[in-house]
Structures are given as structure tokens and as C-alpha cells.
Amino acid sequence: MCGRSYAEPMLLLGIDLGTSGTKAVIVDERSRVVASATREHPVNTPRPGWSEQDPEEWWRSTIAAVRAALASPSVRARDVGAIGLSGQMHGLVMLGAGGEILRPCILWNDQRSAPQCERIERELGVERVVELTGNRMLPGFMAPKILWCREHEPQLERRAATHLLPKDWLRYRMSGVPATEVSDASGTALFDCGKRCWSAEMLTALRIARTTLPECAESPVVTAQLAGNVASELGLAPGIPIVGGAGDQAAAAIGAGIVREGRVSVNIGTSGVVFAACDAWRPAPRGELHAFCHAVPERWHVMGVMLSAGGSLRWYRDTIARIEAADAYDRLATEASTIVPGADGLTFLPYLTGERCPHSNPNARGAFVGLSTAHSRAHLTRAVFEGITFGLRDNLDLARSLGVTASTVELSGGGGRSAFWRQLCADVFQTPVAAARGDEGGGFGVALLAGVGAGVWKSVDAAVDAAATSPSDVTLPQCAKAYDLPYARFRALYADLSGAFERSAVAQQT
């Protein structure tokens, strides 16, 4: 392949297209990360509740990240033998008949298609939507975005020949092949996750042509080869195989070893994700949690996603705390640690950009409740940490209600690096918490999938076992009972304020 001898050691390239940047991770055949690099790209917010990106910005950050990783002295570009793709899920990239981008990508956290979701669930029924796809119809998903474009940008939607997810547009840009894989397709609201194929009934109901969607493979399967006209831009040889890859959360789970029943992870990034691997198809009755195909053939996962986890803390840092130092989050954690559990009756609701799980409500908003002159900024800081963690527990408890068990919850993302937040999670979850090994995220996971597709490992299980992704630094609960009342207060406040959220949304529209 490309003049490369199979006797030579193979390097595996994982590309993770995130919301704020693209990360390239290079892994060797012993599953060791030998190089990585990240390059940023911008997010555009043309209107409140809207979130868009120009796919060409993704391509620029991808080229820069891959080239930076390849520049490592421990890497020879000619040894890269397979590529895996990961990325932010749910986004809609619309292409014309010639492959041209018709409009900016509508991202996962965009809320504009809430009316389309409401209409679909009203016409089909929530139970039927969940029965067909395993999930509620949510504004973040691709299907309602297509309907929004049909209603508001009909001249563009009529020209749309292909609808792609973000990472799959990267594949198309790299190979000219429109393809996807089961874990990312699961988050379109057009996919029968139980049967692992596009839902003909849902496509018919929404009048979306099957021909506008790509072929769908299992995640470790080779779907394309790197085209010669773009290989030089990346600094790679042409013809390198590209496997299906995975959506960001399934990819991160592969990298963390969350592939078998009984392993549960919580990732605190911009969003917050509770992820549990399942050996059988196990949807929530009314779609309160996502039920998706895993990136492991014939396995699934349930997943709870809160939209503003670390995003809430970043907002607080920038707008209220106004700390610009490199160690800003460490300073905030230290400040929060000076306040007792429950923040002396102050509660923060972390619904700054609406909410997905367990409350499917794009109109939900953030709030501090119980604020008095007795509270200091440190109380607000503590309340923000606690509110985010309570939101994660909402989703963890839902997973437990489906029969998911875990002796330890594996914590990754920014929260996993904070001793204060690990202890808070252990107490609120009432379960030991461990820091997940490694911090390369989805890029590492899809590099392992690339190795399976290239024959380095026989299966995803074998790749994960070779990576020795056992958790470390176990933190035990110390004062779990201290959070019983604060958590109950948090749970009650959503119901108490839901009417106010709706009235506020109406006021903003008039």
C-alpha cells in the first residue's frame, strides 16, 4: 500500500472534529500515543439559540492539526497506515449535486428546530418515534434540522443532494465517498438503532429521500481511501484506508475502554455525558436517555446528555467570576471548596442553552435560586459546580433505572482532572469515582478502530484490551448524605420553573 512494506511498523491516525477544534492523535501498534496536536476553529452564533460552523474551517484546522502531529520527531508520515474519524454528532451538512456546501453546518447545540420536533412528535406520537429510533425527536438531531431548512430555506433544501454529519463531511472531503457508521447515524432521528439501519418508516413519514443519506457501515469497517488530491495537503500518502469511525462519545468510550456491560463513564466537557455500554438493545420507554448503537458491532449504549456542563462553568468564569488566569478552573474549585455542601440553600440550574436529558426542553434556562445577601461569590461558585453535578446524577439515575450497574463511575474531561470535582461526583453519585486513563478522547478511540480495520487487532475488544484502559485514582464517597436535600431541591426546581421558562421563550419571540 502506497509503497509501504507490511513488515514496517504501522501508525494509526485518529482525527477528532470537535466543536471548538480538531485534534489529531497518532497511535502505534502497541496502542501508545506517540504524537497529538489540536488546532482551533470558530463557532458562529448568528441568532440566540443558533449555532453554526463553516465546514471549510474544519478542513483548515484538520490540515493544521494533522501536520503538527506528523511533525513530531517520533513520527514518520509514511508509517501512517489507517485513519479513523470521530467528531461532534448530529450536525447537518447539506451538499449540492456537485458536492458543494450549500450553507453553514447547523450544530448539535442549535435549538432552532424545536417547533419541528414538537410537530413530529405530535403527529407521530412520542411512543412511535421512540419505537422507530430509540430516541425522542430533539432539536440537536439532524432530522428536524432538515425540516427546518425545508420550511425556512426551501431554495437550498431543494438543491440538497446529500446530508452528512460533521465527521462524515471530513471523510467526503478526504475521499469523495459519502459514508457514515452506526454510532453517529444513531443520533440523526432517522436511524433504527435496534436493527442498525436507516428507518424506512421514519424517512417516509418525514418525506426525506433515502438517496440523500450515505451508506452506513459498522464503525471498524473500512469505508474509503485517502484521495491523492488531498493527501499532499495533509502530508500523508494517498490510498490510506479510512474506517467508519465513531461519533465523539462512542469514540471516547472506545478510548476509555467502556465497551462491555457494567462499565459506565461520565465525561464533563462543554456538554456533560453519562455513557453506559450495553450488550443488548435497551431503550428508555419514552426516550428520556439516548439509546444508540455502540462503535462495537452488535453492542449498544445508553447515554444521557446535558447541554451545558463544563459550558456552564466556562460561562460563570467569563461573565461573573471574570478570572482570566490559566489556572482559572483550579481557582474556582478552591473557592467552591470553602463552602459547605448545599451552598447554604443556593441552587444553580445549568440549563443555559436548553436541556436534552432528562428534560427534553430547548426553552429551559439557567437560574440561581435562593440567592440572598448572606451569599458570597464563593457560594455562587459552589452552586455552579453542584448544579452541574446534580444534572449528571439525573442522567445516571435514569441509566440505573434501566438496569445499568457500575461499581465505579469513570470520570473524564475537565472534571476528571479536578480532585475537588471527583470528590463532589463521588458524593453526589453515591458511588466511587475513578479518573479515566488517558486524555486523548475520541481521537485515540478511532485510532484503535482504524487499527481494527487495518488488521492490527482482530476486534474492538482486542484493541481495547491492548490499550489497558483501566481507571485509576479511585475516589470514595465521604459525605453523600449531605447532598440528599440539595439534590431534592434541585430536582423540584425544574418543575417549579418550567412554566416561567415557557413564558420567557414566548416573550423572546414577540
Question: Which of 191, 201, 60, 81 is closest to 133 using CA atoms?
Answer: 191
Contacts of 137 (CB under 8 A, 6+ apart): 117, 120, 121, 129, 143, 144, 189
How distant, in Å, are the alpha carbons of 17, 186, 199, 218, 405 from that of 195? 27, 11, 9, 12, 25
What is the number of alpha carbons within 13 Å of residue 490 lying toward its C-beta? 27
Q: Taking a C-beta distance cutoff of 8 angstroms, is the pair 429, 396 a contact?
A: yes
- Active-site residue flag, 248: yes
Please tell me which residue in 248, 318, 330, 461 is annotated as part of the active site.
248
Q: Taking a C-beta distance cutoff of 8 angstroms, is the pair 49, 111 a contact?
A: yes
Question: Which of 401, 302, 393, 388 is closest to 351 using CA atoms?
Answer: 388
Amino acid at 468: A
**Beta strand residue intervals within 235-281, DSSP E:** 241-243, 246-247, 264-268, 272-278
Question: Which of 192, 217, 58 is closest to 135 using CA atoms?
Answer: 192
Question: Which of 43, 89, 85, 80 is closest to 62 using CA atoms?
Answer: 85
Question: Which of 370, 367, 430 is closest to 396 using CA atoms?
Answer: 430
How distant, in Å, are the alpha carbons of 10, 19, 211 from that of 445? 16, 17, 30
**Active site residues per annotation:** 248
